[in-house]
Amino acid sequence: MTRLFGTDGVRGLANRKLTPILALKLGQAAAEVLTADRESYELRPTAIIGRDPRVSGEMLDAAIAAGLASRGVDVVRVGVLPTPAIAFLTDDYGADLGVMISASHNPMPDNGIKFFAAGGRKLPDSVEDQIQSTMEQLSDDGPTGTKLGRIISESPDARDRYRKHLREAVPVDLSGLKVVVDAANGAASRVAIEAYREAGAEVVPIHNKPNAFNINEDCGSTHIDKTQEAVLEHGAHLGLAHDGDADRCLAVDAEGNVVDGDQIMAILAVGMKEENNLRFNTLVATVMSNLGLKLAMKEQGIEVRETKVGDRYVVEELIRGDYSLGGEQSGHIVLPEDCPTGDGILSGLSLMARMAKTGKSLKELASVMTVLPQTLINVPVSNKSKILDSPEVLTAIAEAEEELGESGRVLLRPSGTEELFRVMVEAAEAEQARKVAGRLAAIVAAA
């Protein structure tokens, strides 16, 4: 059986791979799996549905709402909000599950469906597999009459609840800080600007006018050069770049230098340790994090625990070890005491709070970590699951690791969301990283 779920939910070209019929069935199956323990309750189970502003979201929202209601679940549609807002609201409303319709940083024609369990937690692989198995065995014998679910078109206070939560999570006055915010014409376009201004920052918004078609288009965290240009143009203290569903945050310092997720984690980890808030003096990161992060944290007396790529794996490790900070180089930062998943706006507020508390510039704070030169090449492939079975690829990896020694590393892995194979090489010198990565990418492409 081909696995339907990827690294972060079900994702694909909307109305082709991800059709309304598929969304309907996913809703029905999720209702059966995620509300199974509610059968004896008098009240019907409840689901929260949110989406980013891309055009196909309206269609998929309607389909998945119908699927849930057809299996007896009351649905509250909260409209355009960030993914972490849906995770928060699932918990805040006491809902049985949450659904976010978004393809995150992917181009507008794509879309995706992410599920949250009660409490706003992302689903483990085993539960996703159970939903897929249930979907393939669905019958037409759903409830009827009074047992059908209801659909509430809009929740009037959802955005306000989320903004209030952000303010309470980071109650620091950010007056005096001028920040450029690139909302990627996505789900953060309104709420991020409001949240930063309510915290006292002077906000220069860019790419905050979504029209259903322009999400992630030459903007946001995947086109951070736009944020760099705006920071220099407006003389801002920093810039923050979100992706389409605002679960990521990358930063730019006042001189236009990019501060990635690894550096943001390093800054927050050091601050949390100083304030005795970094439980077990441990940071959770993925295998994609720069080797420089490990070296910097070792110098600070902080342990780094590694997981597979994907913020849900970071969350699983955070829960398992009762840790208080984790994330990814891509800008997913997880602060589990305040949100059960990566929250780009919360990350931005936390980063600016560290600047306000210390009086230091972002460049000064980021200097705690030296980023080793890293080259990442995405290789289009027709069958990404077979690449690491190739003897030529395995031999090339072994030769590259021997060449780099302890001063670098090699990581090859399939993308969880696209038909790509990612080749990542770190080395002491940028030119060496580029050469080794290029050589490996060519061998992967041939394989």
Q: Are 281 and 273 in contact (CB under 8 A)?
A: yes
Q: Are 26 and 68 in contact (CB under 8 A)?
A: no
Of 291, 290, 401, 433, nearest to 393 by C-alpha is: 401
Q: Choose the weakest-confidence range: 39-48, 146-155, 157-166, 347-356.
A: 39-48
Q: What is the pLDDT of residue 311?
A: 86
Question: Tokens 């909000």 label which residue?
Answer: 81
| Cross-sheet strand order for the sheet of 374-380 | 374-380, 420-426, 409-414
- Helical axes 344-358 vs 191-198, angle rounded to 10°: 20
Domains 161-366 and 374-446 share a fold: no
Identity of the amino acid at 60: L
Q: What is the pLDDT of residue 285?
A: 98
204-213, 417-426, 429-438: which is most confident: 204-213
Residues classed as catalytic:
104
3-class DSSP assignment, residue 106: coil
- Helical axes 158-169 vs 191-198, angle rounded to 10°: 40
Give whole-number Cα distances, 3 to 7, 47, 135, 408, in Å. Answer: 11, 24, 12, 33
Residue 1 has pLDDT above 70, yes or no: no
Q: What is the mean pLDDT of residues 114-133?
A: 95
Q: Residue 144: CA atoms inside 13 Å, Cβ hemisphere, count? A: 2
DSSP 14: B
- Helical axes 158-169 vs 83-92, angle rounded to 10°: 90
Homologous superfamily, domain 10-155: Alpha-D-Glucose-1,6-Bisphosphate, subunit A, domain 3 (3.40.120.10)
Domain 161-366 adopts which CATH fold? Alpha-D-Glucose-1,6-Bisphosphate; Chain A, domain 3 (3.40.120)
As to burial, measured by CB atoms within 10 angstroms (0-12 exposed, 13-18 middle, 19+ buried), residue 400 is buried
Residue 153 has pLDDT above 90, yes or no: no
Q: What is the pLDDT of residue 273?
A: 98
Ligand-binding annotation for 92, yes or no, is no
Q: What is the pLDDT of residue 381?
A: 82
Residue 333 has pLDDT above 90, yes or no: yes
Question: Tokens 């978004």 label which residue?
Answer: 102
As to burial, measured by CB atoms within 10 angstroms (0-12 exposed, 13-18 middle, 19+ buried), residue 444 is buried
Of 172, 176, 178, 180, nearest to 237 by C-alpha is: 178
Q: Which token pair is 126? A: 């085993």
Q: What is the mean pLDDT of residues 326-341?
A: 95
Confidence of residue 252 (pLDDT cuts 50, 70, 90): very high
Q: Which token pair is 138? A: 């669905």
- Distance (Å, rounded) from C-alpha 329 to C-alpha 248? 10
Q: Are 247 and 221 in contact (CB under 8 A)?
A: no
How high is the mean pLDDT of the chain?
94
* DSSP H/E element including 84: helix 83-92
Q: What is the pLDDT of residue 38?
A: 65
- Distance (Å, rounded) from C-alpha 172 to C-alpha 294? 29
Domain 374-446 adopts which CATH fold? TATA-Binding Protein (3.30.310)
Q: What is the mean pLDDT of residues 216-237?
A: 98
Return the higher-pLDDT residue of 358 and 447.
Answer: 358
Residue 7 has pLDDT above 90, yes or no: no
Locate the domains of the chain by residue range: 10-155, 161-366, 374-446
Identity of the amino acid at 355: M
- Distance (Å, rounded) from C-alpha 444 to C-alpha 83? 34
Question: What is Dmax (Cα atoms) for the chain?
Answer: 69
Q: What is the pLDDT of residue 41?
A: 58
- Distance (Å, rounded) from C-alpha 348 to C-alpha 342? 11
* DSSP H/E element including 431: helix 430-446
Residue 174 has pLDDT above 90, yes or no: yes
Confidence of residue 141 (pLDDT cuts 50, 70, 90): confident
User: pLDDT by residue (tens digit) across 352-407?
Assistant: 999 999 999 999 999 999 999 989 999 988 777 788 888 898 999 999 998 988 77
Residue 267 has pLDDT above 60, yes or no: yes
Q: What is the pLDDT of residue 88?
A: 97
- Distance (Å, rounded) from C-alpha 27 to C-alpha 101? 12
Confidence of residue 446 (pLDDT cuts 50, 70, 90): confident
Of 54, 56, 105, 61, nearest to 86 by C-alpha is: 61
Of 40, 19, 37, 145, nearest to 97 by C-alpha is: 37
Ligand-binding annotation for 52, yes or no, is no
Ligand-binding annotation for 61, yes or no, is no
Confidence of residue 418 (pLDDT cuts 50, 70, 90): confident
Q: What is the mean pLDDT of residues 257-278?
A: 98
Ligand-binding annotation for 91, yes or no, is no
As to burial, measured by CB atoms within 10 angstroms (0-12 exposed, 13-18 middle, 19+ buried), residue 37 is exposed
